[in-house]
Structure 1
Amino acid sequence: MLALHIEEIAQALDGTFVTGREPVDISQMYVTSVSTDSRVTSDHGLFVAIKGEHVDGHDFLQSAARHGYVAALVDHEVKLPEAHDTPSDSQHEMDQGLQREDNPQILQILVPDTVKALGQVAHLNLEHRRALHSPFTIIGITGSVGKTTTKDLTRALLASRDNTVAPQGSFNNDIGLPLTATTVDERTRYFVAEMGASGIGDIARLTAIARPDVGAELRVGTAHVGEFGSVENIFLAKSELVEALPQESGIAILNADDENVARMQDKTQAAHVLWFGITNATHQAQLDVTARNISVDNIDRPSFQLIIEGKLAGDVHLQLSGKHHVMNALAAVSIAHCLGLPDEQIVRVLNSHIPLSPHRMCVREVEVNSQRFTVLDDTFNANPDSMRGGIEGLASLGDENSYRVAVLGPMLELGEESDELHHEVASRVYFDGIDNLIAVGTPSLPEADHLADAYVEGVHQAAHATDIPVNPTKARRHGPFSLTRVKDADEAYAQMMYVLEKHPHALFLLKGSHAAGLSALADRLLRHTVTSADSSATPAAGVNQA
């Protein structure tokens, strides 16, 4: 973060100072970092007190003061202990050796909305960076699926050239994005901003914080259609990214394989539009970036020939599992190409990139109770589009003798079509040559628990369908399809162990919305990852070691 004077921050927020029990000299007070975590030591830090569903940051101002923060954004004045009162510190603070006899004060900046104020501080920081004479570019990425992987690939590409800031994981909302933006400083050349939305106007608010110079639109899918109300509303919400691009210099990067993304050409005034894709389903005159001769290896890592502006840039072998990641790579390549990275550098970085964000198409060989098997962990979240990619990934793993199991939790926020969409996913599992489906319930979220039953119903419908031809290349080789409905992730684990007794070395896909608890199950399993030194027989061993 660039150093910002506290008076400039308060003025930008139209905030009011609350000084506490003693006068505070703010003439030399400045801020060099921002956080919502009072436990992180932060000299010259600004603490943002946010009231969440279960925890209120306003309760931790004393902790923030003890950890070096000089000021806090608050939506109401917080009364702090007097200088010699005995503080009620957490055990964590005692473990850190903090001084219990002190009750340091902290300057409070009173604002109506601390989340909005956080965004304003982030915007102020970015504007200070733009005011410097050195080049600085903001890249925005959005889409119903693929945002985080594309962001990670883009970060890797741009970081190979110059200092790049991008969020860890999926910090893509009105808290995560501005927190990442406050880490931009005078050395930063590129800021890669992942932009998510749960409704119309969300991305517009994010682009008001960080107006992008380059905007990449990946896909308009059915993720969160329940929140948006319709796919058309998703289109309108995602379009807000390219609508924010500057007319004189903006670059819009659009997916030519998605008809809704292609429509965004009419929603932007950006000076340049680049197209990426594989099939060019929307019949653009030319694909600026595409892939040819796509194939996958035995753990579903794609290889392809990268074509940039009609010329072969090189052969790419991604370290990500899942054929659908080719499109994410093409989007990242488009960003890097328009910003001037040489073709050979792009190919080199793609071939060496190791996945950064957890629970996204991560393939590991694990060993539990002397049973060695393969886990495809894609548990970060789930929607119909990403489910399709996960199932395709499982179907591509292993060889013709492999036994494949889909362990699926529910997909949330799909609206009135939720049951039908779960039926379709189950049908895909049934017809794509998968041997076994374990449908996982969510007793902690009763309103979604019935969706595991929707998977079961979908399998029964598929089994009795007479109008769907079976693809002989995806025929099951281990007898009849198996189906189990389990209560929760713990029962799913037990069922997996039972399956392994009959089918050693099975392949498991773990996928579902966060509420299903499958990411915790994945963590439990991946603690037993087999390292490359431990493995001598299975080609999946040691893959994608972080």
Structure 2
Amino acid sequence: MMSSDINKDAGRGMMPMTVCEVVQAVHGRLVTCDAQTFDAPYAQSPLLTSVESDSRLIVPGGVFVAIPGQRVDGHDFVRVAASKGALAALVEHEVEDAGDIVQIVVPDSVKALGLLARHNIDRRRAADDDFSIIGITGSVGKTTTKDLLKSLLSKLGPTVAPIGSFNNDIGLPLTALKVNASTRFFVAEMGANHVGEIAGLTRIAPPDVAVVLKVGVAHLGEFGSVDRIAQAKSEIVQGLMPNGVAVLNADDERVAAMRNLAPGKVLWFGLNGYAADVKTLTMSAEQISVNSFDQPYFTLVDSEGARARTHLELSGDHNVINALAAATVARFFGMGLETIARGLGQVTQISAHRMAISRRVRPDGSQFVLIDDSFNANPDSMRAGLMGLASWRGGTEDTEGGVVDRIAVLGCMLELGDEELTLHRQIGRNAVELGLDGIIVVGSALDSHVQSLAQALYDEAARVADRRDHGVGETEARRAVIHRKTENATGRRPTVVRLVQDIDQAAALVNAWQPGRSGMAVLLKGSHASGVSRLADRWPEALKATFASDSTRGLSESVDKGLGA
């Protein structure tokens, strides 16, 4: 059966439940609806088939979860949900004039959502057919790895995975409630801002396989230290099912240390495995190169020495480690190495605002390449994005006179604690040292905190750019990038650094950059709160273009980056 066929029912709805079953699962109190008097037959007969917290997504037979928020209270939309066919609502207080809908009152609707999701998972586990949960965490790369793994596992059976980054105590249970009797795999992304959050997520969806990618400084301000971040990430390993499998990054010493917490087998992925001190990696990569679109080509190597050449349609060689994590899990579930290699090269659909590459049109009709990695940002992912931009050479249609200008539009990075200003200065320095042509830093006239972070990034970038223009402090990293910019590049152009107050001003600068010239690549990168992601919609897409989909062309244009042997 083709993967498109076996996945046709995946994610369509939960295991069907009666109203009484839901009430018992969430320990709720039942309230009758306007049109019906609750009695035993009604309790036992209507089957609830889906759960949503957004009334716009409700379908007939669904359950609406009313979640009170800072700006919007879900209780105000119970009647709307009823009008769309919802049969029941989880509420924290009785809602008057709610329409023809059963209300189930609970102390905390988010916790009740988690209880219902766990009940759905338990129902699925009780079935005879195979079912596995794969949990993924890490400071960077979770969503990309999830997207790659979903694509691979879908070839083995119906696979449920979140759209985007549904990785918290609301998003994960909502996704878990899309698991049904046909589901073979549930790929669960697990994020956290505090110690204990991932442990809570594993209680909702205890993983059979736990993947840990990297311990970095994302959310450093919330955790207080990198060691606390490592502690939080390790909760996914501690939350494994009995005899569960830990899939760990052998190149990260804090991740490698989690082997001592694993209840069962440990599988390793990485480029060299130095942190884990293991002789044989379950999955590694060698002969890594990138083509002119910064898309990586590499050879997968398994623990038995088998090899298979593959590539990614994603920009950035930092995605190789994410691909290795996904490949390790797929191999564990029996997928052949050649099938994995082909599957990785076929993944073109990833979550929005994550290294999404498209060709856009400026108001003057000139085209440019947009690299949209603006969903979120931390120092590790920011550096990876900047390095990818610095390596971008594009195809003949993406350059003018053989030269492409590289412009980074950067927002701030949040939740970095006491080191936030220092980390922003480092990014400003890195961006200039990589030899970018333009750096546009987006601040905020309305948020003094965002503005202070943007100012720190800008000040350091401007300082280093000024020193560089006078020949002071040029680094080996920058000279390496200058060397591989293009064969036709001549001389050394100064980096233009600008600070703006909003995305309108940022868009105006992009539009004004060498009007009429089409040789330009623009990176969007910043925390969600910076608003940089909204820039992606400012320019219409040009006619659809495939970037280096021809592996022969990609390999011929590859540029060895010296990663792996």
- Determine if the TM-score, normalized by the shorter chain, exceeds 0.5: yes
In the TM superposition, what are the counterparts of 1:113-124 in structure 2 within 5 Å? 113-124=108-119
1:352 aligns with 2:346: yes
Maintained 8 Å contact 1:381/1:511: yes
SS of the counterpart of 1:515?
helix
Deviation at residue 245 of structure 1 after TM alignment: 1.2
Aligned equivalent of 1:9: 22
8 A Cα contact 1:220 1:234, kept in partner: yes
Give SS of 1:192's match: strand
1:453/1:502 CA distance change after superposition, 3 Å: farther
Q: Which consecutive residues of structure 1, in runs of 5 or more, have no partner in the other structure?
A: 82-103, 541-546
What are the superposed Cα offsets for residues 299-318 of structure 1, whole Å, 9 maximum, x if unpaired? Answer: 10000011011423311011
Does structure 2 conserve the Cα–Cα contact (< 8 Å) formed by 1:375 and 1:509? yes
Structure 1 residues 126 and 461, CA gap change in structure 2 (3 angstroms): same
The one-letter code matched in structure 2 to 1:45 is: G
Residue 48 of structure 1 aligns with which residue?
65
Separation in structure 1 between the aligned mates of residue 57 and residue 358 of structure 2, nearest angstrom: 33
Select which of 436, 439, 461 maps to 2:438: 436
Give yes or no for contact 1:360–1:377 (8 Å, CA) kept in 2: yes
Aligned residues of 1:300 and 1:322 also touching (Cα < 8 A):
yes
**Per-residue CA distance 1:454-487 (angstroms, 9 max, x = gap):** 1122124434496663442223845222111111
Task: Give, as a single letter, the amino acid of the residue that structure 1 aligns with 2:213.
Answer: L
CA deviation vs aligned residue, 1:426-469 (integer Å, no higher than 9, x gap): 11111111122111112343321121111122124434496663
Q: What SS does structure 1 have at the residue aligned with 2:195?
A: coil
Contact 2:391/2:481 (<8 A) preserved: no
For 1:133 and 1:47, the matched residues in 2 are separated by 29
Tell me what 1:469 maps to.
Answer: 475
Equivalences for residues 222-371 of structure 1 within 5 A = 222-247=217-242, 249-269=243-263, 271-282=264-275, 283-368=277-362, 369-371=364-366
Matched, 1:497 2:491: no
Q: 1:404 pairs with 403, 406, 418, which one? A: 406
Determine the C-alpha separation between the residues in 2 that align with 1:236 and 1:467: 39
- Correspondence 1:487 to 2:501: yes
Q: Would you say the 8 A contact 1:361–1:378 is kept in 2? A: yes
- Code of the residue aligned with 1:232 in structure 2: it is D
The residue number in structure 1 matching 2:85 is: 68
Q: What secondary structure, in the 3-state scheme, does the structure 2 residue paired with 1:500 have?
A: coil
CA contact (8 A) 2:359 2:545 kept: no
Shift of 1:161: 1.2
CA deviations 1:226-275 (Å, max 9, x no partner) are: 1111111110100000011134x311000011111111112222x10011
Letter in 2 for 1:3: P
Find the residue that maps to 1:442 and give its secondary structure.
Answer: coil
Residue 447 of structure 1 corresponds to 449
Instruction: Choose 512-521 or 389-398, whichever is displaced more.
Output: 512-521
Task: Tell me, in whole angstroms, the C-alpha distance in 1 between the residues paired with 2:528 and 2:442.
Answer: 12
Residue 79 (1) aligns with residue 96 (2):
yes
Q: Go from structure 1 to structure 2 and tell me whether the alpha carbon gap of 1:33 and 1:359 turns closer, same or farther (over 3 Å shift).
A: same
Alignment partner of 1:518 is 2:532: yes
Given that 2:52 and 2:58 are in contact with CA atoms closer than 8 Å, whether structure 1 keeps it comes out as no
Match of 1:177 among 161, 172, 186: 172
Residue deviations 1:516-540 (CA, integer Å, cap 9, x gap): 2211111222x323323999xxx99
Q: Equivalents in 2 of 1:39, 1:497: separation in Å? A: 36
Is the 1:5–1:31 contact (alpha carbons within 8 Å) kept by the matching residues of 2? Answer: yes
How far is 1:70 from its partner?
1.0
Residue matched to 1:165: 160
Partner of 2:56: 39
- Is the contact between residue 293 and residue 547 of structure 2 (CA under 8 Å) also seen in structure 1? no
Q: Distance in 2 between matches of 1:533 and 1:213?
A: 37
Task: Measure, in 2, the Cα distance between the counterparts of 1:146 and 1:533.
Answer: 24
Higher relative contact order (CA 8 A, sep 6+): 2
Q: Give the residue type in structure 2 aligned to 1:327.
A: I
Greater mean deviation of Cα atoms: 388-397 or 19-28: 19-28
User: What's the counterpart of residue 544 of structure 1?
Assistant: none
In the alignment, the residues of structure 2 paired with residue 264 and residue 533 of structure 1 have an alpha-carbon distance, to the nearest angstrom, of 41
Shift of 1:19: 1.1
The answer as to 2:375 corresponding to 1:380 is: yes
For the residues of structure 2 that align with 1:313 and 1:160, how far apart are their CA atoms?
20
User: Per the alignment, do residues 480 and 503 of structure 1 end up closer, same or farther by CA in structure 2, a change over 3 Å counting?
Assistant: farther
From 518, 531, 545, the equivalent of 1:532 is 545
C-alpha separation in 1, matches of 2:310 and 2:163: 24
Task: State the partner residue of 2:200.
Answer: 205
- Cα deviation for residue 281 of structure 1 reads 2.8
2:44 alignment partner, SS class = coil
Match of 1:190 in 2: 185
Q: Bigger shift: 459-468 or 383-392?
A: 459-468
Q: Give the whole-Å Cα distance in 1 for the aligned partners of 2:445 and 2:218.
A: 23
2:366–2:516 CA contact under 8 A, matched in 1: no
Residue identity matched to 2:480: T
Which piece of structure 1 moves more, 480-489 or 215-224? 480-489
State the 1:504 CA deviation.
4.0
Report the Cα distance in structure 1 between the residues aligned to 2:62 and 2:207, rounded to whole angstroms: 27
- SS of the residue corresponding to residue 513 of structure 2 reads helix
Shift in alpha-carbon separation, 1:353–1:309, aligned structure 2, 3 A = same
Percent of residue pairs identical: 45
Contact 1:319 1:355 in 2 (8 A): no
- The residue type equivalent to 1:144 in the other structure is S
Q: CA RMSD in A?
A: 2.0
Structure 2 segments unaligned to the other structure (5+ residues): 1-13, 395-401, 486-490, 555-565
CA distance in 2 between partners of 1:362 and 1:384 (Å)? 19
Where does residue 153 of structure 1 map in the other structure? Answer: 148
**Cα deviations by residue, 1:137-157 (Å, 9 ceiling, x for unpaired):** 000000000000000000000
Output the CA distance in 2 between the equivalents of 1:211 and 1:265.
18
Residue 180 of structure 1: how far off its partner (Å): 0.6
Gap change, CA 1:42 and 1:469, over 3 Å in 2: closer
